[in-house]
A and B are shown apart, each in its own frame.
Chain A
Amino acid sequence: MFAVPGLGACTGPQSMLDPAGPAARDVAGLWWGMFVVAVVVLLGVTATWLVGMGRRPPTLDDAREKRVVRRWIVLGGVLLPSTCIAVLLAFGIAAGHRMLPLPLAGEAPLRVDVLARQWRWEVRYGGGAALINELRLPAGRPVDVHVRSLDVIHAFWVPRLGGKIDAIPGRTNVVRLQADEAGEYRGQCAEFCGTRHALMVLHVTAMEAGAFAGWLEAASR
């Protein structure tokens, strides 16, 4: 975490810190908040330890000592973590709620079916269009990806757009993604699925709405 600046920026084709959609942006925001708090807590605790190692305190009477100890345990041991997790949970539940594929008021999300199998992605659209290891999306419109598996468990994941969801035999899981702008994104199977797991890559292209509609129509034929 501290070695970060020396190791390059946050960008990268699969970097969740370079978000390109609302879900991924929410998570990146959560990360930076948690990161700052975590660094402060870690440094604080470590510094306390180091100072404590060097201190030669006066001897306290029992009552004083009891008070001091109670303060440490209640403030540091109970209140500090409780506050942190309460705040975190409040943010987390709200963010999680926003990411759920709930019905929308306006335009319905586009539905895309993704079938995972060892070791490739099959992408299907309502009109009969189909792609292998490639996913095309309209930019700026929510897309509900319905993920299934034909053999073992895989996980569908395009980090710059949003979180992952497992592809499990017998189940259909839905994840809602949205790309803000047209562009190329990279996805990869995240659940270990056998020998060529590392090579199970998905190329994602977000297209302008008009271009996407044109492509879909052409491909559906």
Chain B
Amino acid sequence: MKPSPFHPVQISLGLVVWSVWFVALYAGLAVACERAPQAPGAGGPIALNVGFGLFTLATAGLLALSATACLRALRREPERPPRERFVARVGAAVHLIALAATLFIGVPLLGLPPCV
């Protein structure tokens, strides 16, 4: 199931995961606000923000693990042909980019109420 760190799919896998997270976040927010809106202006952490925040952290964790897997494989197998090492290097970086994008886009969850 898990693709090899040297498989070309790594070139876009991280950002695909990020896309799925983004769609789920946006769609989930729309559905949540439609079905169970929370009163705006209430102080303290809001359940929806906490929920989406945890989801964001989980996605970020997954991306970090995948990036580490690529980096480890690079160190473990230095004898691979350059083109395969290129794929793993790009793969690791793409996972890290996706990780950064996930965290950065998730930041507003800390400061804004969900449904207004």
Residues of A within 8 A of B (CB): 86, 89, 93-94, 96-97, 100-103
The yes or no answer to B47 lying at the interface (CB within 8 A) is no
A102 B116 Cβ-Cβ under 8 A? yes
Instruction: List, in ascending order, chain B residues with CB within 8 A of A94's CB.
Output: 111
B111 A103 Cβ-Cβ under 8 A? no
The yes or no answer to B61 lying at the interface (CB within 8 A) is no
Instruction: List, in ascending order, chain B residues with CB within 8 A of A96's CB.
Output: 112
CB-nearest residue of chain B to A94:
B111
A93 B41 Cβ-Cβ under 8 A? no
| B92-107 residues at the A interface, CB under 8 angstroms | 104, 107
| Range for the number of chain B residues in contact with chain A | under 10
| B30-58 residues at the A interface, CB under 8 angstroms | 40-41
The yes or no answer to B28 lying at the interface (CB within 8 A) is no
CB-nearest residue of chain B to A101:
B116
| Partner pick for B108 among A86, A93, A100, CB 8 A cutoff | A93
CB-nearest residue of chain A to B116:
A100
A103 B112 Cβ-Cβ under 8 A? no
A89 B40 Cβ-Cβ under 8 A? no
Q: With A and B bound together, what is the CA distance between A103 and B112 in angstroms? A: 15
Beyond the given A93-B108, A93-B111, please list 16 additional residue pairs across the A-B interface where CB-CB is below 8 A. A86-B104, A89-B107, A89-B108, A93-B112, A96-B112, A97-B111, A97-B112, A100-B113, A100-B116, A101-B116, A102-B40, A102-B41, A102-B113, A102-B116, A103-B40, A103-B41
Instruction: List, in ascending order, chain B residues with CB within 8 A of A89's CB.
Output: 107-108
CB-nearest residue of chain A to B111:
A93
| B59-116 residues at the A interface, CB under 8 angstroms | 104, 107-108, 111-113, 116
Instruction: List, in ascending order, chain A residues with CB within 8 A of B104's CB.
Output: 86
CB-nearest residue of chain A to B108:
A93
Instruction: List, in ascending order, chain A residues with CB within 8 A of B40's CB.
Output: 100, 102-103
Q: Report 20 cross-chain contacts, Cβ distance below 8 Å, ordered by A residue.
A: A86-B104, A89-B107, A89-B108, A93-B108, A93-B111, A93-B112, A94-B111, A96-B112, A97-B111, A97-B112, A100-B40, A100-B113, A100-B116, A101-B116, A102-B40, A102-B41, A102-B113, A102-B116, A103-B40, A103-B41
Q: With A and B bound together, what is the CA distance between A86 and B107 in angstroms? A: 10
CB-nearest residue of chain A to B39:
A103
Q: With A and B bound together, what is the CA distance between A94 and B107 in angstroms? A: 12
Which 10 pairs of residues, A with B, have the shortest CB-CB distance?
Answer: A102-B41, A93-B111, A103-B41, A102-B40, A100-B116, A93-B108, A97-B112, A93-B112, A97-B111, A89-B107
